[in-house]
Structure 1
Amino acid sequence: MTSLPDLAITGSTGGLGGMVARQLADAGTAQRLLVRDAGRAPELEDAVPLVFSYADTALAGQALEGVKVLFMVSAAEAEDRLQQHYAFIDIAAAAGVQHVVYTSFYGAAPDATFTLARDHYATEARIRASGMDFTFLRDNFYLDFLPLLAGEDGVIRGPAGDGVVSAVSREDVARSAVTVLRDPALHVGTTYNLTGPEELTLPAAADILTVETGRSITYHPETVEEAYASRASYGAPQWQLDAWVSTYTAIAAGELAGLSPDVRTLTGHEPLSFAAFLQQPQL
């Protein structure tokens, strides 16, 4: 294991982790890619795929042996995600990992309105208590996610009121992460708030989507009760319904508002606006 790269990347088969891994490879940085299925790992220069699982402590411990810096993309949303995070953090500390760069969430707090932000806060606390160095990337909602809010009828429905969201592109989060990972010692103990360059109401986001896509998109405000009722037909578990609805109520509560200079500070470039993001070729 000692001959393997001492930088480990999780999530490389997904959107954010894949972007980070590709950018690191382009910069000539060696890395080990921790993946559940080696056959799905991206084929990159100086990148070694290793099979691991958040749920398999023995496998994770082997994959982390000799790792100094770990880029930890939060696990897939699940009822037991926090327990998976706890186990993985404990294994990383036991394996001798020195520095964890964790993808957290903007406004993470124990009483955050967005229910999943509470799990991110608890994960941060576990990392802090582990004794490992840390850097937290608290990204706002992704710009990439906003178009998906519209139903087949072109309507965005939710109890967001007249609140605003400072959504950030996944690309800007990836570029910020790469800056940290290429010289992690400069970022020990730092929490970065990653936002886009503008605060958007959902009606404004709908207008931008209409202009940039040619599809008529509108916003229909719901009450909280209406939001739960309109999503009940999906048969999702309660924790998932709570997460879906609190996506909007967090915006209404003002917890996704505010602009941060951290993307520009880390990357040297202004973050993408929603219109600029939509004008890019979508993969």
Structure 2
Amino acid sequence: MIIVTGASGQLGGATVERLLERLPAEQVGVSVRDPEKVPEFAARGVRVRRGDFEDPASLVHAFEGASRVLIVSTATTGEVAVRHHRTAIDAAKEAGAGRILYTSHMGSNPASPFAPMVDHAATEVALRDSGVPFTSLRNGFYAASGAMLLDNALRTGELAVPEDGPVSWTAHADLAEAAALALTGGGEPDGSTGGELDGLTPALTGSEVIDMAGMAEIASELTGRTIRRTVVADEAYRAGLVAHGVPEPAADLLLGIFVASRQGEFAEVDPALARLLGRPPVPFREFLATTVSPAR
């Protein structure tokens, strides 16, 4: 049985949907903190069990009978996130999983100024130390995060953010399909997971990099409204977020995206995702076209 955590979230839920296109429902299980949030999976025959990263015993029960477990990284950061991930890794090992998969990030780096990258790096160490065969899916930066950064600019006409660098924005849908392929053998004839999908994967990215200026240009073309990209000093950006009610840790997190991107941490483009999917990844422009509306 293949188990997916975080199935009530965007990436986890989409991965389950892709799995159900490849496997009978009785071969798929989900581990969620609140089973009532995924009635659609239970109704289709998926095994739904409560699994809470704060409750190791619940995870062992949720992972029972698993051949492979996909641990979707939590929405927390810092020590809590790493502890949650280690708890899930230990539970998967105790449940007898033959392989543990984890949704990491292309920018995984213990020295990154973007805090989640430090957490991903620490989790990858825990995966190595577990002694269980593992796959750390080094996903490209979510295209949905890029759209989120544009949200205010679509209202004001100004994308006022710190100095940045190019990012290989990647759609959730592509990454969910890649995760499902990795869970079911990655296209290997014998159903094994080998090569690029064993251990740390190459960066699973879109096929182009786009910086904030490029995003503003694309958004302008799609909406028919001029969206100017202006550079804001780091501290002024952070202070503005806090002044608008963003908690300081969250403001630091957002600022870290720009600091890390201008250091080139998200600028890699790798053909691995296209090879795995057997097609080009969804371009950022195409993704953004589904989220913005033209001027009326």
- TM-score normalized by structure 2? 0.87
Q: Which residue of 1 aligns with 2:189?
A: none
Correspondence list, 1:1-283, <5 A = 6-29=1-24, 30-44=27-41, 45-79=44-78, 80-150=80-150, 151=152, 152-161=155-164, 163-183=165-185, 185-186=192-193, 187-280=197-290
CA distance, structure 2, for counterparts of residue 120 and residue 22 of structure 1: 25
Deviation for aligned residue 1:219? 2.1
CA distance, structure 2, for counterparts of residue 159 and residue 281 of structure 1: 23
CA distance, structure 1, for counterparts of residue 29 and residue 96 of structure 2: 16
* CA shift digits 1:72-91 (9 cap, x unpaired): 11012245212211222222
For the Cα contact (< 8 Å) 1:194–1:262, is it kept in 2?
yes
CA distance, structure 1, for counterparts of residue 22 and residue 110 of structure 2: 37
* CA shift digits 1:100-153 (9 cap, x unpaired): 111101121111232210100101110110011111111122112212113142
CA distance, structure 2, for counterparts of residue 226 and residue 209 of structure 1: 24
CA distance, structure 1, for counterparts of residue 39 and residue 269 of structure 2: 33
CA distance, structure 1, for counterparts of residue 222 and residue 163 of structure 2: 22
CA distance, structure 2, for counterparts of residue 205 and residue 146 of structure 1: 8
For the Cα contact (< 8 Å) 2:105–2:139, is it kept in 1?
yes
SS in 1 for 2:183: helix
SS in 2 for 1:194: coil
* CA shift digits 1:43-100 (9 cap, x unpaired): 2434111111011112112111221200111012245212211222222222222211
> Judging changes above 3 Å, is the alpha-carbon distance between structure 1 residues 190 and 148 closer, same or farther for their aligned structure 2 residues?
closer
Deviation for aligned residue 1:40? 1.1
Which stretches in structure 1 are left out of the alignment for 5+ residues?
Answer: 1-5
Which stretches in structure 2 are left out of the alignment for 5+ residues?
Answer: 187-191
CA distance, structure 2, for counterparts of residue 215 and residue 92 of structure 1: 50
Range moving further from structure 2, 232-241 or 91-100: 232-241
> Judging changes above 3 Å, is the alpha-carbon distance between structure 1 residues 34 and 272 closer, same or farther for their aligned structure 2 residues?
same
CA distance, structure 2, for counterparts of residue 262 and residue 227 of structure 1: 35
SS in 1 for 2:108: coil
For the Cα contact (< 8 Å) 2:162–2:234, is it kept in 1?
yes
CA distance, structure 2, for counterparts of residue 156 and residue 116 of structure 1: 24
Q: Which residue of 2 aligns with 1:3?
A: none
Deviation for aligned residue 1:227? 2.0
> Judging changes above 3 Å, is the alpha-carbon distance between structure 1 residues 16 and 42 closer, same or farther for their aligned structure 2 residues?
farther
CA distance, structure 2, for counterparts of residue 103 and residue 69 of structure 1: 14
Letter in structure 2 aligned against 1:18: G
Letter in structure 2 aligned against 1:148: M
- TM-score normalized by structure 1? 0.90
